[in-house]
Amino acid sequence: MPTTHLLYLHGFRSSPASNKARLMAAAVAGRHPDVTWLCPSLAASPKQAMAEVLQAVSHWPKDSMAVMGSSLGGFYATWLAERLGCKTVLLNPAVHPARDLAAYIGDNALWHDPEQSFLFESAFVDELLAQEIARISHPERYFAIIARGDEVLDWREMTGHYPGVALKLLPAGDHALSDFDQHLDDIMNFLALA
C-alpha cells in the first residue's frame, strides 16, 4: 500500500532544521505533494515527546502511514513502529540511548542553533529505558541506512539490533549521513509514497 502520511523524527540535540529533515521535506513536497508530512520539534522528555507524537498522528491511517527517524529519532521510530505497525525508515538509529545519553544530563545546545539549549534531566534516562524495544516483531516493515563510519554509534550494535531488515550498510560515511541526498531514491522506493 502506498504511504500517504510520513512522520520524520529528528535526533538528540537536533531539530526539524537538520539537513536530513530539510532534504526529506523538500523531496516529499517536490515529488509527492499529496503526502501529509510532519516533522515536529521533539520535547526533551522522551515520555512527553512520544505522547505528543502519538497525539499528532492519532487520526492518521495506520495502514498507509510511515515513520522515519535519525539517531535518537530512529529509536523513537522503532518504539512507534512496534505500537502502530507501520513502515519505518531508520538512519543510524540509536539502540541504547539511556546508556549513551546519561553523559548529557544537564544543559545541551542545539547543533543547528547553539543559541538555543534545553535541559536533559536524569529522569529522562529512565524514560528512555522504559521505551527500549528488546526485539522488533516485523523486520519486513523496516529499512535501515547504517554507516560503518558512524563516529557516535557502533554500526555493529545497530545492525545487530535489526536482524532481517532491508539494510543499506555504507562502507564508510558518518553519523550525520552527510551524503543523505544520495540515499533519497532508496528511501522513496521503500516508502512507496502516494
Residue 180's pLDDT is 97
What pLDDT shows up at residue 72?
Answer: 98
Q: How far apart, in Å, do the first and last CA atoms of the chain sit? A: 9
pLDDT score, position 106: 96
Q: Given this model, what pLDDT does residue 187 score?
A: 98
Predicted local distance difference test score (pLDDT) of residue 112: 82
Q: What is residue 92's predicted lDDT score, i.e. its pLDDT?
A: 98
pLDDT on residue 114? 85
Residue 102, Cα to own-chain centre: how many angstroms?
19
The rounded mean pLDDT for the chain is: 96
Give the whole-angstrom CA distance, residue 4 versus residue 192.
Answer: 9
Low-confidence residues of the chain: pLDDT under 50: none
Instruction: Give residue limits of the domains in the chain.
Output: 5-191
Which residues have C-beta within 8 Å of that of residue 21, sequence separation ≥ 6?
8, 10, 14, 15, 39, 70
Question: Is the pTM higher than 0.75?
Answer: yes
| 130-165: burial string, b at 16+ Cβ within 10 Å, e else | ebeeeebeeeebbbbbbbeebeebebeebbebbeeb
Check residue 165 and give its pLDDT.
Answer: 98
Q: What is the pLDDT of residue 113?
A: 84
Q: Do 183 and 24 contact (CB within 8 A), yes or no?
A: no
Q: What is the pLDDT of residue 111?
A: 85
The DSSP call for residue 167 is E
* Contact in structure between 168 and 10 (CB atoms under 8 Å): no
Superfamily of domain 5-191 in CATH is Alpha/Beta hydrolase fold, catalytic domain (3.40.50.1820)
**pLDDT given for residue 26 in this prediction:** 98
